[in-house]
Chain A
């Protein structure tokens, strides 16, 4: 199988001023089995009279059990898009659907992991992981079992009673992932989760995330600006460009889920990586 670089969402740039009103175009047909469907999402920021078009008619979907990366240079609006999917920000127009339901606000069904500093500093590792379960009113026994299970999966058991400030950056992100996974979300949204880590820890956590996905089959949408990370982890990659932020390419990665670090020497991997890097400039 050869890598396919197909251009989708071909939008003419002169559409800047002609915002399509809601309902002018029906939602894009839901691709078969898609967990997440984003339909012509636009985001416009108005600040002191100046108008910034952060996102322009973004369409994408993520299938059940798929690992999809949003790849783009900083400032292309990919984090804004993830916030909209997470329900933390409102789209100016367009819609986000999870299992067909319209997203109007944040919820535990879309677990999110941020770049850093998002752990509750007063809560221990176990209490952080337990947070969402407590809010969802799980029974005490179920909560204890679930927290214990995640501590095991994340190799965090010996740090269960440590405070976040006693942990290294890599461990903190492991806790953040465990906390987001705890309430069994339909979808895991990762916003440059390894962006603040050193190269070695980053590679380690990439392998870790890959293993987690292989074992649990969670549906994952991850934002990153690291080309190699995206090619290494994803089934598909959406490439975004800035000003206005839109999707310029959709790339299917020719490796199945059961991949390992070995693919990093595969000529197809290297070819994809180089072409994507060139695209990002």
Chain B
């Protein structure tokens, strides 16, 4: 199928498979307002009215699945090919920009290295703990803020101020407060993400339709029942969405923490690789971050649809 725009000036577009059916129904539609009167040069029945664009270029158009897959593959291919080309032309700079092959080898090497799993686990553990606390606090405060105007008023100014303090700037403070163990890293992840989670979850709670609250009340539901069985239930997909979107910020905070003070972890290994000028290992670790991110994104999407199939778009 050619990427072509079907316009009134290109009658051959009529034969495009995607345009045919709709166009026929439209030309036989007696209710189409007539423009003939205003353009007297037209011969009745010879022209075409309106424009019809190729699905690829339509605003909010729907695409067949084969097109969508093809475009995704093409998008990835651009990056890989671009990388190959850049690496092959780097010449003397090859030590700064490793080829994809070299990085693939470095990944294989990492995987066979017994410390890698330990690093992966150390980082994942910090994320799991810190981010769970963040989503938990975010849910409690977010739901409360989105539900009670009193709570919202109390926290609005605080959060408005606190969330603009870059959490990464707190790293030295946290190292002083919590020492160099696990807790400063975990609390940095909490502080760096909890405000985003609170605000997004509060929005989800505010989005619960008033009609549902009224339905609950007039069916005998008290405040507690309504909170748990209507507001929380309705906000659940929003909570998972918030967790999915803000997870990237959690990894950002983890990297900041591990780069400053750690003896194991993925970001710590990047800093270590820098010392040995092992750029291929650094790239390999970056790809590991990307893969973990993609996997958790897919998992949380699945979780959202599994727990709230009714909210599927």
Q: Does A61 touch B at the CB level, under 8 Å?
A: no
Given A114-B211, A118-B211, A122-B233: A88 and B218 within 8 A (CB)?
yes
**20 A–B pairs (Cβ distance < 8 Å), ordered by A:** A87-B218, A88-B217, A88-B218, A106-B214, A107-B217, A111-B219, A112-B215, A114-B211, A118-B212, A118-B214, A119-B215, A120-B215, A121-B310, A122-B308, A122-B310, A122-B311, A132-B220, A135-B225, A176-B215, A180-B218
Once the chains bind, are A112 and B310 in contact (CB under 8 Å)?
no
Once the chains bind, are B217 and A87 in contact (CB under 8 Å)?
yes
A60 to chain B minimum Cβ distance, whole angstroms, is: 19
By a beta-carbon cutoff of 8 Å, the part of chain A in contact with chain B is 86-88, 105-108, 110-112, 114, 116-122, 131-132, 135-136, 163-165, 176, 179-180, 183, 189
B161 to chain A minimum Cβ distance, whole angstroms, is: 28
Q: Give which listed residue, A106, A116, A117, contacts B217 with CB less than 8 A.
A: A106
Q: Give which listed residue, A112, A132, A136, A164, contacts B214 with CB less than 8 A.
A: A112
A82 to chain B minimum Cβ distance, whole angstroms, is: 11
CA distance A179 to B218 in the complex (A): 10
Once the chains bind, are B310 and A131 in contact (CB under 8 Å)?
no
| B contact residues around A176 at 8 Å (CB) | 215
Once the chains bind, are B211 and A107 in contact (CB under 8 Å)?
no
Known: A135-B225, A179-B215. 5 other contacts (CB 8 A): A114-B214, A117-B211, A118-B212, A119-B215, A122-B308
Once the chains bind, are A179 and B219 in contact (CB under 8 Å)?
yes
Once the chains bind, are B308 and A108 in contact (CB under 8 Å)?
no
CA distance A120 to B211 in the complex (A): 10
Once the chains bind, are B218 and A86 in contact (CB under 8 Å)?
yes
CA distance A88 to B218 in the complex (A): 8
Q: Which residue of B lies closest to A179 (CB)?
A: B219
Q: Give which listed residue, A132, A163, A165, A189, contacts B219 with CB less than 8 A.
A: A132
- The 5 A-B pairs of least Cβ separation, nearest first, read A108-B220, A132-B219, A106-B217, A112-B218, A118-B211
B68 to chain A minimum Cβ distance, whole angstroms, is: 24
Q: Does B230 touch A at the CB level, under 8 Å?
A: yes
Given A135-B221, A136-B220: A114 and B233 within 8 A (CB)?
no
CA distance A164 to B234 in the complex (A): 14
Once the chains bind, are A110 and B211 in contact (CB under 8 Å)?
no
| B contact residues around A116 at 8 Å (CB) | 211
Q: Which residue of B lies closest to A124 (CB)?
A: B310
| A contact residues around B215 at 8 Å (CB) | 112, 114, 118-120, 176, 179
| A contact residues around B219 at 8 Å (CB) | 108, 111, 131-132, 135, 179-180, 183
Chain B 227-253 near chain A by CB (<8 Å), digits 1 or 0: 000100110000000000000000000
Q: Give the residues from 190 to 225 in chain B that come closer than 8 angstroms, CB to CB, to chain A.
A: 209, 211-212, 214-221, 225
A106 to chain B minimum Cβ distance, whole angstroms, is: 4
Q: Which residue of A lies closest to B237 (CB)?
A: A122
A249 to chain B minimum Cβ distance, whole angstroms, is: 28
Q: Give the residues from 56 to 95 in chain B that come closer than 8 angstroms, CB to CB, to chain A.
A: none
| B contact residues around A164 at 8 Å (CB) | 310
A163 to chain B minimum Cβ distance, whole angstroms, is: 6
CA distance A86 to B234 in the complex (A): 23
| A contact residues around B212 at 8 Å (CB) | 118, 120
B231 to chain A minimum Cβ distance, whole angstroms, is: 12
A86 to chain B minimum Cβ distance, whole angstroms, is: 6
CA distance A173 to B234 in the complex (A): 20
| B contact residues around A132 at 8 Å (CB) | 219-221
CA distance A165 to B309 in the complex (A): 11
CA distance A117 to B209 in the complex (A): 8
Q: Which residue of B lies closest to A89 (CB)?
A: B214
B28 to chain A minimum Cβ distance, whole angstroms, is: 26
B237 to chain A minimum Cβ distance, whole angstroms, is: 9
| A contact residues around B221 at 8 Å (CB) | 131-132, 135
| A contact residues around B233 at 8 Å (CB) | 120, 122
CA distance A173 to B218 in the complex (A): 16
CA distance A122 to B232 in the complex (A): 12
A167 to chain B minimum Cβ distance, whole angstroms, is: 12
Once the chains bind, are A135 and B211 in contact (CB under 8 Å)?
no
CA distance A88 to B311 in the complex (A): 27
| B contact residues around A121 at 8 Å (CB) | 234, 310-311
Q: Which residue of A lies closest to B226 (CB)?
A: A135
Once the chains bind, are B218 and A120 in contact (CB under 8 Å)?
no
Most buried by B among A105, A114, A164: A114
